[in-house]
Amino acid sequence: MRKKTALIAAIGALIIFGTIAAALFSSGGDTKSVQRIAAPTSLYGETDISSAFDAIEATFASDFTGCTLKELRYNGEIERTYLDDELDRKQTGAEDRIIVLSTFTTNWRSTNEGFSPNETYEDWQWILTRPTQNAAWSVEGWGYC
């Protein structure tokens, strides 16, 4: 009976340790509760914007350890302000280019990514391109420009 109890205790301890280790050492960012705010424009419809959001979430999940994505935003004002700025700087070369803004928070693990811990980053820009209208979006850059 003691062996059975010891085995159950050991398995329980391993499960608890594994859960804690997974929480502490998981890689990538959290995108589970991101709020998507999108207003279709004359350039991009709902499907285009949603596909761009998907590409951003995939990149965030793999590259932003210790960060939680809170919001993705795209609308006509963002399009006019940021896309025009990109084109004014002669950053061309893709048929389609979209700029999306985001808000995310960081925790103590985000310092490895170059972020300050326990901060909120607002209006973080994502630049995506695609060669044709039916192609997938590719994240070309991010940050504050």
- pLDDT (tens digit per residue) in 14-42: 454 443 444 445 568 999 999 999 999 98
Nearest to 112 by CA among 33, 17, 24: 24
**Which residue in the block uniquely carries the two structure tokens 């950053």?**
91
- pLDDT (tens digit per residue) in 57-69: 999 999 999 999 9
Q: Has residue 89 got a pLDDT over 80? A: no
Query: Sign of the C-alpha dihedral, residues 34, 40, 44, 45?
Result: positive
Of the listed ranges 2-11, 95-104, 135-144, the least confidently predicted one is 2-11
Measure the CA–CA gap between 104 and 34, rounded to whole angstroms: 9
| Whole-angstrom Cα Rg for the chain | 20
H or E element that contains 25: helix 2-25
What's the whole-model pTM score?
0.76
Contact at 8 Å (CB) between 115 and 121?
A: yes
Q: Has residue 13 got a pLDDT over 60? A: no
Report the helix count and the strand count for the chain, using DSSP H and E. Answer: 4, 5
Nearest to 29 by CA among 119, 105, 91: 105
Query: Sign of the C-alpha dihedral, residues 86, 92, 98, 103?
Result: negative
Confidence at 46, pLDDT banded by 50, 70, 90: very high
Q: Quick one: tokens of 56? A: 């951003």
CA angle 116, 119, 124 (to 5 degrees): 90
